[in-house]
Amino acid sequence: MNTFTSKTGKPVQSKSKLIIVLIGVVITALLFVPFLINPNSSYEEKDGKMYFGSKELVGLNPDEVSMIDYYIIKDSSHIYYKDQILEWADRETFRIMRPPFFMDKNGIYYETHSWLSKREIKPLEGDYDKPTFHTVSNSTFFKDKNRVYQIDIWSGSNAPLSAVDIPEIDVTTFDMEGNSNWYADKNHVYFGIFELKLCKEIDRATFETLSFQVAKDKNHVYYLTRNLKSDDKRATDYDDYAILNDADAPSFFMIDELNYEDKNTTWSIER
């Protein structure tokens, strides 16, 4: 190892090499520590016994086990999360809503997702009506009888539930439009992945989704901009939509997921 000598005559490591070593240690930790905190174990039956990883689930009969989610199972008595019994869970009513959300008769729960802390099942905190709370067509949005909600379980917040702040939303009729990132109620159209925005320029009465990427109303054709080939790369780097200029909306129809046609021309999506 290269060294240089200090005024005291003692060898001192090169600062640049020390920095490189420290960077290597940090990168190694970031790559491997998450797997030590949350090992990628699974359920397995061996010799008539049930295991999670190397730990035996004592008293659990493999013949009575049913899977709820990858890390959640139940037998005739309990709900298990990995190798632990969820003592608080109501076995009869506990079910998955949409990963990573679960519910039973007592409340709503979610599985935390953090690389640097142990995953767990936590109650969903917030001011919401539990009896009517449900996912909106298996999307990233939820609603109860009063409001529409968005949930951020990846921020590390103790209260990841927040109400969507759009006063125009009609909660009762709010739903997903097709299998897409478009939503609508009786009055308006909305677009969103994790955050919802109101699309006042879109005509609700004539709006329809043609595919996951393309929708239209009587005036325009709309397409998702993310990851599309474009001369303007900035327009393709995020989840949003744009108007397909020069398309004839009334005659525009889908041939297949990547090809479309109107009275004047054909259109193709290139990725």
| Start-to-end C-alpha separation, the chain | 49
Which residue would you say has higher pLDDT here, 177 or 98?
Answer: 177
Containing structural domain, residue 223: 201-271
For residue 199, give both structure tokens. Answer: 């699309």
Structural domain includes residue 216: yes
Classify residue 258: in a domain, yes or no. yes
Mean pLDDT value across residues 164-181: 94
Does 212 fall in a domain? Answer: yes
Residue 111 within any structural domain of the chain: no
Q: Which residue carries 């035996």 as its tokens? A: 56
pLDDT digit string (tens) for 237-256? 778 899 999 999 999 999 99
The answer to whether residue 259 scores a pLDDT higher than 80 is yes
Compare 75 and 117 and report the one with higher pLDDT.
Answer: 75
Asked if pLDDT for residue 139 goes beyond 70, the answer is yes
pLDDT of residue 162: 87
Q: Tell me if 26 is assigned to some domain.
A: no
Domain assignment of residue 205, yes or no: yes
pLDDT (0 to 100) of residue 38: 61
Q: Judge whether 31 lies within some domain.
A: no
How many structural domains compose the chain? 1
Tell me: pLDDT of 230 over 70. no
Reported pTM: 0.74
pLDDT(158) > 90: no
Among 31-40, 149-158, 209-218, 261-270, the minimum mean pLDDT is found in: 31-40
Quote the pLDDT of residue 3: 35
Q: For the residues 151-171, what does the mean pLDDT come to?
A: 78
- pLDDT score for 24: 60
Residue 242 in any domain: the answer is yes
Residue where the block lists tokens 């490591």? 13
Q: For residue range 47-59, what is the model confidence (pLDDT) as tens digits?
A: 889 999 999 999 8
Task: Please state, rounded to an integer, the average pLDDT across all residues of the chain.
Answer: 84
